[in-house]
Structure 1
Amino acid sequence: MIRKELLWFFGTLSLSLLFHLFLDGFDSFTADSTLDINIHDTYFVISDIIFFTVLSALLFFFVYLLRMLCSNFKNLYANFVFIIACALIVLILTSSISLIQSMSNVFDASTLNVQTHSLRSTIGNALILINALLVLFASFVGFKTGWNYKQNKHSP
């Protein structure tokens, strides 16, 4: 059982590395590499390690979500990896929320038009809602994991 779980874990990790390699190339494995994204008038520069972390967390989240749902919450290792991936996504979303709120506070509301300020507020509220739903779902998975473990421990 442990060998199968290690194969799934390292398979997902290697898939994440392949996606990262496909999206960013071989230069992304240097220490000071960055990912540059140009969207309209804004130029985003993101560290490759942050991009890889977000990509890996999302990939682990979806792979282990499917594994967990297919096993009906009975695979202890899949549940734990899913909860860890969910916690990492919650941390990423929390930092995104604080970044969006700080961007709203830096600029004076009079210099921003009302639509931009409203859009940032809406995006921040949506991320808070998604964050709360992820925490609730991770709590539910933890409850189901404990319930299944308790039932398996007492059954002969």
Structure 2
Amino acid sequence: MSKDIYQNLDQLGQQTALPATPEAAQLEAVPNPHPDVDYLARFVAPEFTSLCPVTGQPDFAHLVIDYCPGDHLVESKSLKLYLSAFRNHGAFHEDCTVAIAKRLVAVIAPKWLRISGYWYPRGGIPIDVFYQTGLPPEHVYVPETGVQPYRGRG
């Protein structure tokens, strides 16, 4: 695969400012070097942060994003910047998790996508949010996320 597939990327290989909002973030796609093969790509964001839309207090989550690429992959730096843009964004856990999934689906049109959002307790209650686009393609190995349910200090 030639390097010219990277020529239309605006963020890779240079200093890029953190987007002010998730809507302002530019998610970039690159051609999948193996569109003829069904395989799983996984991104893990163990330090995801956003804000409670009511109190403005910070919320923290461990996100696991699994997808089976179609014709495009998400460029990882653009994904990192997109996820970081939630740092000052007020939204409930469910909204953040599902919005990330829907944005990825819109940009890269994967054959399958699953996001697991393991949110740390707010008001003493941990909230886990899961979303997927359907059944994974047959014969694709989809490992467990490896994230344990919240147990407190026990």
TM over 0.5: no
Using structure 2 for the length normalisation, give the TM-score: 0.28
Larger Rg: 1
**Structure with the larger strand share:** 2
**Structure with the larger helix share:** 1
Instruction: Return the structure number with greater relative CO, CA threshold 8 A, min gap 6.
Output: 2
